[in-house]
Amino acid sequence: MTADPRLEFAFEIRVDCDPDIHIGRGPDEVLTLTPITGGVVAGPLLSGEVLPGGGDWAVERSGTAQLEARYAIRAEDGAVIEVLNRGYFRASAEALARMERGEDVAEDDPGVYFRTAPVFQTDAPAHRWLAEHQFLGLARDEDGRVCIRVFVVR
């Protein structure tokens, strides 16, 4: 008998970002960098802060952006945790227009697909579990931040 995976809410990462920097690449794709300037982490399994200095690189092809963010978290106990968060973002024209007007768009909005698979690294014994599990992130833009609800796959 096989068991279906179970998702357990671990924490939410709320990332502060500077405006996108257009890098460019060619006629069929666009490369951008979004600098990460800070943020907060809060939840039942981890709390802390997002350290400034990371970034999110996005390559958009045919309306879908392939994302790769790299940044660090400092846990409440002082441990530093590296984050590599890869995923995909796409949105309907209507949802993009709402986002450009500054409206929040829910993570379950049918016009938006924003999902990630974060990977964590640390040598801090209290947080080693982060480097030993698979995670799924449900992301959304909210209040000018990128917010990612992170679930551990059990």
- pLDDT, tens digit, 9 for 90 and up, residues 98-108: 988 888 888 89
Residues 6 or more apart whose CB falls under 8 angstroms from that of 34 comprise: 17, 18, 19, 20, 21, 55, 56, 57, 58, 69
Would 14 be classed as within a structural domain? yes
What number is the average pLDDT over the span 95-119?
Answer: 92
The percent of residues in the chain predicted with pLDDT above 70, rounded, is 100
Contact 12, 153 (CB under 8 A): no
Give residue-wise pLDDT tens across range 15-67. Answer: 999 999 999 877 889 999 999 999 999 999 999 999 999 999 999 999 999 99
Would 2 be classed as within a structural domain? no
Domain membership of residue 113 as a residue range: 7-153
The percent of residues in the chain predicted with pLDDT above 90, rounded, is 85
Would 106 be classed as within a structural domain? yes
Would 143 be classed as within a structural domain? yes
Predicted TM-score of the model (pTM) = 0.93
Q: What pLDDT score does 100 carry?
A: 87
Quick one: tokens of 39? Answer: 């943020």
CATH of the domain at 88: 2.40.160.20
Domains in the chain, number: 1
